[in-house]
Structure 1
């Protein structure tokens, strides 16, 4: 995968080493004369930020930088970003980084145009008032170009932003069709400095997106097909990307798989995300790492419902044991090889808030409503306890 690829699915995508070189032309074509570059503070001293700044400067594109973005971006971060957007009279946005930068940029784009947008287009409101994309009001949001530096969230191809409401320690999913970036640039050169632990956690995030989408009870065969191929790409590339960060083929394969996940989870997510959202908001742990730890516990909770479909998936992946048990064993071996902890207690969580976690997981209808089987708050609380204690119903880690 060394050539530059161009796709439009579901938006314009440039993919391959050196894809960054297409940025200036896309800015011109989109009428972006004064973009606000949104990133996180950790990115400011890294190679991707230097490359992007150099590219924009050489192209005589005027821009400012907003980097007051937390790893789990909050509504307050967005408010600060809106102030910067308006103060600089910006007409567009460029997001550089992982999901935090992408989600913050989307939130800024929406709130800069509609002061009540984060409230109006929160997931429960979307479900109540906008059953199809055509039902949303046209807002004329400023154009956004997304350049991911991690291969995990897939936010660059999504119409959603996940933002933390700090006062309540909960995450809100905001959705509007115009949040989909106008252009996505998947350049593996921007990911080559990502440390192995973050490569692993973000890669497992992408894997979780695909698995939960594949297992969703909603009927969406196109997304199911994307999920199956996305899982295969992760099986092929994730370990190599972790073991050799300069392997551009593996890095590119993971970027593609991550972006594909946002297409796959049009079909829905599930219990892993329903649990990870409140845990991330309350304990400020990395979203991908939470997903990676929780994944096998939710797979087991869903086993009776998903075993046939997981068996088909295992056969496609050519696993040695092509059934649910073989697939679960592959996930556990992959986690161990990547250095993912087996239990939530290993990252400092205890089961004291289990009842709260269960209630919040059930209330996260953006994910719990499309879990493979119906789970109640008590079920989610027990899954959380199992994940804290490392209990996998007869399975050895």
Structure 2
């Protein structure tokens, strides 16, 4: 148990869970007196299910428009295009319905609308760096609501990841008011999510919890809540792997994602798994939901000298108190049938140097519990995962 620290409450109204998304969003739009609700929706949900149409009907005259073309890894080109369309539609509330890329896009759209950035170069200078936590954004007049269909958990923090395709580099942008006003968790809307994405995004949510428990600046509340989240996710993911129609298990997974993100909510700094994962996505085009499955066992091994007590608690949360946390997580990934090595996702040693160099640009490299001082330290972790 940590004996000193602090906890920061996020600028967010509420999490609504276990209710139909359309019904809950209709009530939220009324509560917030929104008149022009702009939807950023999953194309699958919009074109192959009736979920988005239910939302449009629930909004009624408050509905403004829908965009359903957000690419994987959330590119600058996409967010400035969406911002232009949302501005033209007179949006006074933005709602993301789908996976992590859509949630990230919605956060960035708020700031592009506020600053009238409709060309990707206009985002230069706003990105987060090790020397600059916040990039000078104003408080946005328009806020957002998130209705996630995956488990990645990015909706629970005020940062967003956007890829600059010109440089093949995923960057962090941050402002407290990019945090959603509300998050709506409806297990029914997740049943359309492909299995690998569902399971992989669940491990991504676990990444938040594990790195918070191991963080150099965690606190007692975050530790307790994140460990509970890891238990929810461990058990719920295995149950949904066995039976995809188990809605109670899906609900538990959503609760686990929420609880595991408590460190992000409190701005507890993450570590090497986040830093490397962002580079694997932005530079190597690896789906974000595979990054934790491949990297976390090696990050835990690298960090063990500085986090031995925390890792014992993590192993217990993974229902394996008698083995190392890295082994427990690797065994869990095997049960889920997800990739376990970099070579399985097309990343080989000839790219390690580039990944190491780009990872050193991340704020999370600097906050890893076991010091990472130069690119060769990142390469050491990559070799463990090769």
Q: TM-score, normalised by structure 2?
A: 0.89
Which residue pairs with 1:393 in the alignment? none
The within-5 A match list for 1:60-99 is 60=60, 61-99=62-100
Describe the superposition over 1:356-394 as per-residue Cα deviations: whole angstroms up to 9, x where unpaired: 1111112111x2122121113101012223323xxxxxx
> 1:40 deviation in Å?
3.7
Is residue 233–residue 253 contact of structure 1 (8 Å, CA) maintained in 2? yes
Q: Hey, what's the Cα distance between the residues in 1 that align with 2:102 and 2:194?
A: 18
Which residue pairs with 2:36 in the alignment? 34
The within-5 A match list for 1:95-110 is 95-110=96-111
Q: Hey, what's the Cα distance between the residues in 2 that align with 1:38 and 1:189?
A: 19
Match of 2:91, SS state, is coil
Is residue 17–residue 248 contact of structure 1 (8 Å, CA) maintained in 2? no
> 1:9 deviation in Å?
8.7
Which residue pairs with 1:330 in the alignment? 328
Which residue pairs with 1:369 in the alignment? 366
> 1:346 deviation in Å?
1.2
Is residue 189–residue 248 contact of structure 1 (8 Å, CA) maintained in 2? yes
Q: Hey, what's the Cα distance between the residues in 1 that align with 2:55 and 2:44?
A: 20
Describe the superposition over 1:60-119 as per-residue Cα deviations: whole angstroms up to 9, x where unpaired: 132211122111001111111111112222222110011100000111111101146844
Q: Hey, what's the Cα distance between the residues in 2 that align with 1:129 and 1:203?
A: 28
Which residue pairs with 1:159 in the alignment? 158
Q: Hey, what's the Cα distance between the residues in 2 that align with 1:95 and 1:158?
A: 14
Is residue 11–residue 180 contact of structure 1 (8 Å, CA) maintained in 2? no
Is residue 41–residue 97 contact of structure 2 (8 Å, CA) maintained in 1? yes
User: Residues 263, 219 of structure 1: CA spacing in aligned structure 2 closer, same or farther, 3 A cutoff?
Assistant: closer
Which residue pairs with 1:319 in the alignment? 320
> 1:149 deviation in Å?
0.5
Alignment gaps of 5+ in structure 2 = 1-9
Match of 1:288, SS state, is helix
Match of 2:376, SS state, is helix
1:122 pairs with 112, 124, 127, which one?
Answer: 127
Match of 2:47, SS state, is coil
2:45 pairs with 28, 35, 43, which one?
Answer: 43
> 1:26 deviation in Å?
0.8
User: Residues 65, 320 of structure 1: CA spacing in aligned structure 2 closer, same or farther, 3 A cutoff?
Assistant: same
> 1:262 deviation in Å?
2.9
User: Residues 174, 215 of structure 1: CA spacing in aligned structure 2 closer, same or farther, 3 A cutoff?
Assistant: same
Residue correspondences, number: 369
> 1:10 deviation in Å?
4.4
Which residue pairs with 2:235 in the alignment? 236
Match of 1:14, SS state, is strand
Is residue 209–residue 262 contact of structure 2 (8 Å, CA) maintained in 1? no
Q: Hey, what's the Cα distance between the residues in 2 that align with 1:38 and 1:293?
A: 30
Q: Hey, what's the Cα distance between the residues in 2 that align with 1:243 and 1:228?
A: 23
Which residue pairs with 2:189 in the alignment? 190
User: Residues 144, 126 of structure 1: CA spacing in aligned structure 2 closer, same or farther, 3 A cutoff?
Assistant: farther
Which residue pairs with 1:309 in the alignment? 310
> Which region of structure 1 is more displaced relative to structure 2, 84-93 or 170-179?
84-93
The within-5 A match list for 1:335-346 is 335-346=333-344
2:355 equivalent to 1:354: no
> 1:209 deviation in Å?
1.2
1:21 pairs with 15, 20, 23, which one?
Answer: 23
Is residue 240–residue 250 contact of structure 1 (8 Å, CA) maintained in 2? yes
Is residue 194–residue 245 contact of structure 1 (8 Å, CA) maintained in 2? no
Which residue pairs with 1:271 in the alignment? 272
Q: Hey, what's the Cα distance between the residues in 2 that align with 1:83 and 1:118?
A: 14
Is residue 11–residue 177 contact of structure 2 (8 Å, CA) maintained in 1? no
> 1:55 deviation in Å?
3.2
Which residue pairs with 2:284 in the alignment? 283
> 1:121 deviation in Å?
4.2
Describe the superposition over 1:9-43 as per-residue Cα deviations: whole angstroms up to 9, x where unpaired: 94311100425412112111212211111124343
Which residue pairs with 1:57 in the alignment? 57
Q: TM-score, normalised by structure 1?
A: 0.87
Alignment gaps of 5+ in structure 1 = 1-7, 131-135, 389-397
> 1:139 deviation in Å?
2.1
RMSD: 2.2
User: Residues 363, 86 of structure 1: CA spacing in aligned structure 2 closer, same or farther, 3 A cutoff?
Assistant: same
> Which region of structure 1 is more displaced relative to structure 2, 189-198 or 114-123?
114-123
Is residue 45–residue 52 contact of structure 2 (8 Å, CA) maintained in 1? no
